[in-house]
Amino acid sequence: MTTTNFICLEHLNRQYDDAGVKQLVLQDVSLNIAQGESVALLGRSGSGKSTLLNIISGIDMPDAGKVLVDDLDLTAMNEHERTLFRREHIGFIYQFFNLVPSLTARENIEFTLELNGLPANEIFPRVKALMEELDIFDKADRYPAQLSGGEQQRVAIARALIHQPKVVLADEPTGNLDARTGHSILQTLHKLLKEHNSTLLLVTHSLEVANSADRIITLENGYLKERDSGFAW
């Protein structure tokens, strides 16, 4: 594992205009994450966690500061370049799974590889192998509405990891699951990430989930802090 900084955020500011009133969501946020490291991000509702994930994936842009992922400067890219960057390098996992309802489980996962232009004959074997690893291949032809929450989240994890992204961003991935299912899914996620030395930034409200990561950081009033020892949530 390399110890060089893989995700580098330098002095980020992000503000929104709320009916003419400026709201500073991120203030002078700097953060370094090494390749293969997992980092949990805690913070109250509205503290800017999703905003930070969106900036790292190039969906949103900071008003000031620099964003480097694997030495690629997102802040120097145009929107099209950022879209291509996101497709290739980022995997997203959401709290409410966000599967496409009109596609089967298998098609939801295949879609990521089709977008990335993988030859058609390479797609199915790869999807099958990952679905088997996540124990959902027997549900391959079901639609999301025909799957339990835990099954939907495993499909969503497969969709996020199938192109072996270097960075996985997870926004409360187990927030909508019972504790036992959430715990088991989280363990599987960490195991799959280790296999490819992928880097994880995990937003959560749960200290237990946060403790599964190598490091914990918090966002408070727009400022980012490393968790200190006396931290209680």
Ligand X SMILES: Nc1ncnc2c1ncn2[C@@H]1O[C@H](COP(=O)(O)OP(=O)(O)OP(=O)(O)O)[C@@H](O)[C@H]1O
Shortest distance, position 79 Cβ to Mg ion, whole Å: 22
Q: What is the dihedral of CA 214, 219, 225, 228, to 10 degrees?
A: -70
Q: Is 47 in the site for ligand X (CB under 6 A)?
A: yes
What the block records as the tokens of 177 is 């699951």
Q: Which of ligand X, Mg ion, none does residue 16 bind to, with CB < 5 to 8 Å depending on kind? A: ligand X
Shortest distance, position 207 Cβ to ligand X, whole Å: 15
b or e along 210-230 (b: 16 or more beta carbons within 10 Å of the residue's beta carbon)? Answer: bebbeebbbbeebebeeeeee
Residue among 134 and 156 whose Cβ is closer to Mg ion:
156
Give residues 50-89 in contact with ligand X (rule: CB under 6 A): 50-51
Q: Is 25 in the site for ligand X (CB under 6 A)?
A: yes
Q: Which of Mg ion, ligand X, none does residue 45 bind to, with CB < 5 to 8 Å depending on kind? A: ligand X
Helix (H, G, I), strand (E, B) or coil at 175: coil
Q: Is 16 in the site for ligand X (CB under 6 A)?
A: yes
Q: How would you class 142 by CB atoms within 10 Å of its CB: exposed for 0-12, middle for 13-18, buried for 19 or more?
A: middle
Contacts with ligand X, residue ranges (CB under 6 A) = 16, 25, 43, 45-51
